[in-house]
Amino acid sequence: MPSLRTTRPPIWLLMMATIASQLALTIYLPALPSIAQHFGVPYGTAQLTLSIYLLAFAFAQLAVGPLSDRIGRRPVLLGALAIFVAASIACALAVSIEMLIGARLAQACGACGGVVLGRAIVRDSRSTQEAPRAMGYMASGMALGPALAPLLGGQVLVLFDWRATFWLTAIVGAVVLVLMILILGETAPRQKTATSWLRGLLEGFAIVLRSRRFVGLMIAATSASAAFNIFFSGGPILLINVMGISAALFGWYTLAWAGNFVLGSLLQTRLQGFIRSINLIAIGQLVLVIGALGMVVTALAGYVAPLALIIPLILMGLGNGLNMPNAMANALTAVPGNHVGAASALMGFVQMLAAAALTVLMGYVPHETQLNIGLGIALVGLAGLAGWAMLVRR
């Protein structure tokens, strides 16, 4: 029987790996109040399951990306997916908040492989002209996963308890692992491995960071992902505890962001014949900031209701869809091909480290209104625009 493996894996397969890891990020968010109650801990303590996931995801990428440059994308990705499945099962079986936090840490270490190596495989297997479109699909998966997951998680909670969300994550991860074993061939370019692993790791990061263009684009991509995570860290308590939205309905509100992210991603592929890819990043950042300021204005006006979030979320999703695929694709084409894994890992590390710090902060600031969420997103959007202007624009 001929092998199904290919060095040009289909985008849908890479999207599945990305969606699986992002599913784990947010599927249980509607259950956070229930988890806090179940283990008898404050909401902020239960939210550490999100913050520790982001933090572990950030640091694990620093090993996963360069390791894949050295020994290949396929073995590293398969190993990461196996860890992801095992850790998801451990989350479902957790008997204490400490065990759940520890299992989430391991889950993140496995999950990062799907995102980091998915981007690297796109860069390996697609031309410079094809990469932005393919990265747009990957970025859509990164947005759809965490946005649709709370909707799915809310429906699961109607029938089962919070543990069922982690069982579902384990099943999805197992399916992706089997498909990767059957279909994914090796895509990484061959390179010499005379230097030690640690020395090669540090040299790869040094080469990547010498690119002024890469650093600026990394800042732009980081601001987009940080905005996304600010909403998802404060959104559940604002909508469920303050505005009275049920856990089952919470996920529907996230579609305002996710659906328009996909629209923005599709729109940017059409606009590239008329507007430079680099300039679409700035346009997306501006739209994001305008949406965030809309939250601030409605909060200051004293209007605290779900409707006050819908239009800002639409604008922010659209802005991120214009920004993120272009920022990621251009960043990875700004570095040599044999350091794409290191570049993808470093970009993901900075994104997740920023997200982890912001989710810790957002977990302990008050959320009586949408003011703090809007301010946080506006500030990171302006920071991303400043990074683009200083380091990328010629």
All structural domains of the chain, each given as residue ranges with its CATH number in brackets, are 11-391 (1.20.1250.20)
185: helix, strand or coil: coil
Q: What is the largest CA-CA distance in the chain?
A: 67
As a whole number of angstroms, the distance between CA 4 and CA 17 comes to 18
pLDDT at position 78 is: 92
HSE toward the beta carbon, residue 335, CA cutoff 13 A? 31
Residues in the chain: 394
Contacting residues for 331 by C-beta, under 8 A, at least 6 apart: 213, 214, 217, 218, 221, 343, 347
Q: Which of 227, 223, 254 is nearest to 238 (CA)?
A: 254
pLDDT at position 8 is: 77
As a whole number of angstroms, the distance between CA 62 and CA 11 comes to 24
Instruction: Give the residues across from 184 on adjacent strands.
Output: 6
Return the axis-axis angle of helices 97-125 and 48-71, rounded to nearest 10°: 40
For range 180-195, the mean pLDDT: 71
Nearest 10 degrees: Cα torsion 68, 70, 74, 76? -50
As a whole number of angstroms, the distance between CA 360 and CA 352 comes to 12
Chain segment 249-286, per-residue pLDDT in tens: 776 777 777 778 878 877 877 777 788 777 888 888 89
As a whole number of angstroms, the distance between CA 254 and CA 116 comes to 24
Q: Which of 81-90, 297-306, 332-341 has the lowest mean pLDDT?
A: 332-341
Chain segment 34-74, per-residue pLDDT in tens: 888 888 888 778 878 888 887 888 788 888 877 877 778 88
Provide Rg for the chain, Cα atoms: 20
Average pLDDT taken over every residue of the chain: 80
Residue type, 191: Q
184: helix, strand or coil: strand
94: helix, strand or coil: coil
As a whole number of angstroms, the distance between CA 389 and CA 48 comes to 34
Token pair of 267, please?
């729109």
pLDDT at position 89 is: 95
CA distances from 82 to 121, 196, 341, 349 (A): 19, 26, 20, 21
**Any alpha helices (H) in the chain, and if so which ranges?**
11-26, 32-39, 43-46, 48-71, 73-92, 97-125, 131-159, 163-183, 197-209, 212-236, 247-271, 277-300, 307-332, 340-364, 371-391
Of residues 155 and 272, more confidently modeled: 155
- Does the structure show a pLDDT above 90 at 81? yes
DSSP 244-302: ---HHHHHHHHHHHHHHHHHHHHHHHHHTTTS-HHHHHHHHHHHHHHHHHHHHHHHHTT
- Say which DSSP state 190 is in: P
For range 136-163, the mean pLDDT: 75
Residue type, 374: G
For range 161-168, the mean pLDDT: 89
pLDDT at position 157 is: 81
As a whole number of angstroms, the distance between CA 261 and CA 175 comes to 26
- Does the structure show a pLDDT above 60 at 152? yes
CA 5 to chain centre: 27
pLDDT at position 1 is: 40
What is the phi/psi pair of residue 184, to 5°?
A: -75, 120
What is the phi/psi pair of residue 6, to 5°?
A: -140, 145
As a whole number of angstroms, the distance between CA 351 and CA 60 comes to 13
Tokens 């303050």, located at residue = 242
Of residues 150 and 182, more confidently modeled: 182
- Does the structure show a pLDDT above 90 at 293? yes
- Does the structure show a pLDDT above 90 at 170? yes
- Say which DSSP state 30 is in: G
Cα torsion 172, 176, 181, 183: sign: positive
